[in-house]
Amino acid sequence: MAGEDRITARQRAILTAIVECYIETGEPVGSGTIARLRAVGGGVSGAGMSSATVRNEMAELASMGLLEQPHTSAGRVPTARAFRLYVERLGGAGSAGARLIGGPQRMSLESQIDSSFAGISGTQAMLERTSHVLATVSSGVGVAVAMVAGGDTLEHVHFSRLGKARVLAVVVTSSGLVRDRMLTMEVDVSARELEAAANFLNEHFRGWSIERVRAEIGKLVERERSEYQRLLGSVEQLWAGAVPVDDAGVQTVYVEGVANLLGGHALGNAEDMARLREVLAALEAKQRLVELLDAYIDARQESVRVIFDLEEHAPEMAGLVLIAAPARMVGEGHGAVGVIGPKRIHYENTMNAVSYIAQVFERMLHPIG
């Protein structure tokens, strides 16, 4: 980018200090603050640097489009370009892989994540726990998505009677995705009838693509005029409830931590509340998240990506950043895990958490042997 190729080592160090101060406090950063950091070993290079010197360097950084001055404040705040430079220092342009924090800090983070996943098995449980853990460690919105190819096939289905006209349907696909739904039936169905319906589906449709099962059941119902008609009627209703039409794709999305965007730490200004409502609506719809991840996260990539220009794809996401990575699944399916948060998010911890959880996800869904 223009100007960034001529940034000096001292200016880069000052910019890093400003970004980290802004992440920590959310307040515009003044030259005096950076000079004091130097005095206590804050890492800014340049012996004997005064507030005036820092102020001059900050003016240069502002002319490069890396700092801006909000309102009448004497301090400066980093621009999106400054955050991009900061992330590049952590792990490369637009992505982060091996060059992240290590030692005790990383070990502590990994220990926390490992304990959170203890006893968890199955794709659905993994997705749910993943979104929770990411929201917790990042103070942002944790997102976990399983995007199963349309050709994903049926492995097993099971129905359990929970009460009058209430059924728990569990569908397992060849990709390892497990979906369970609570169904309210039009008429009560006995445990024996549920077992017969499950046996029928497992016997006739195991290995069939999810989207083909519904069509074939419909054909059988049309043709059949024998003692199997009642069974087929139950099978049709149970399958329609267990795998709705818009689920045949199949995209399962878990989102947790939306409340983290409501605090002053995240968006801060009162004028942001209207836009925040738009963000919440997009997160609630969930499809927007799938579109964002599809647009930016390639299942073939190996590293975490940090995306600052979300507003180009979703205007209501202006001011937010997406940190995400692919999470490979069994078979043809693939997923993604990530965090949506303010640009003030703690990048090192969040990038490490996303990277590590993506590896945990793959390891747990691809057991050895």
- The CATH code for residues 103-148+250-365 is 3.30.450.40
Any idea what the Cα angle at residue 291 is, between residues 288 and 295, rounded to 5°?
140
Compute the average pLDDT of residues 322-326.
Answer: 90
pLDDT beyond 50 at 45 = no
Q: What is the pLDDT of residue 328?
A: 72
Q: Which residue has the higher pLDDT, 14 or 291?
A: 14
Confidence of residue 60 (pLDDT cuts 50, 70, 90): very high
First-to-last alpha carbon distance for the chain, in angstroms, is 48
Any idea what the Cα angle at residue 118 is, between residues 112 and 119, rounded to 5°?
165
DSSP annotation of 330:
S
Query: Contacts from 48-56 at CB under 8 Å and sequence distance 24+?
Result: 49/10, 54/14, 55/31
List of residues 6+ apart from 284 with CB closer than 8 A: none
Give whole-number Cα distances, 197 to 98, 178, 216, 248, in Å.
Answer: 50, 19, 15, 20
Q: What sign has the CA pseudo-torsion 246, 228, 169, 361?
A: negative
Phi–psi pair at 97, nearest 5 degrees:
-130, -100
- Say how far apart CA 63 and CA 7 lie, in whole Å: 11
Question: Do the first three CATH levels of 4-78 and 154-247 match, i.e. the same topology?
Answer: no
Q: Give the number of other Cβ atoms within 10 Å of residue 314's Cβ.
A: 18
- The CATH code for residues 154-247 is 3.30.390
Confidence of residue 118 (pLDDT cuts 50, 70, 90): confident
HSE, side-chain direction, 13 A CA sphere, residue 258? 14
Give residue-wise pLDDT tens across range 71-84. 766 789 998 889 98
- Say how far apart CA 366 and CA 363 lie, in whole Å: 5
pLDDT beyond 60 at 92 = no
Give residue-wise pLDDT tens across range 214-266. 778 777 766 665 556 666 777 777 777 766 655 545 567 778 877 777 654 44
- Say how far apart CA 129 and CA 148 lie, in whole Å: 19
Whether the Cβ atoms of residue 318 and residue 95 lie closer than 8 Å to each other: no
Give residue-wise pLDDT tens across range 123-163. 667 778 888 888 888 888 888 887 655 566 888 888 888 88
Cα Rg of the chain, angstroms:
26
Amino acid 138 reads S
- Say how far apart CA 171 and CA 97 lie, in whole Å: 35
The answer regarding whether domain 4-78 maps to CATH 1.10.10.10 reads: yes
- Say how far apart CA 144 and CA 21 lie, in whole Å: 30
Compute the average pLDDT of residues 13-42.
Answer: 81
- Say how far apart CA 207 and CA 190 lie, in whole Å: 27
**DSSP string covering 91-130, please?**
HSTTEESSSS--HHHHHHHHHHHHHHTTT--SHHHHHHHH
Phi–psi pair at 164, nearest 5 degrees:
-60, 120
What H or E segment, with its residue span, contains residue 142? Answer: strand 141-147
Query: Contacts from 31-40 at CB under 8 Å and sequence distance 24+?
Result: 31/55, 31/58, 33/75, 34/58
**Per-domain boundaries in the chain:** 4-78, 103-148+250-365, 154-247
DSSP annotation of 14:
H
DSSP annotation of 358:
H
pLDDT beyond 80 at 91 = no
Confidence of residue 344 (pLDDT cuts 50, 70, 90): confident
225: helix, strand or coil: coil
Q: What is the pLDDT of residue 73?
A: 67
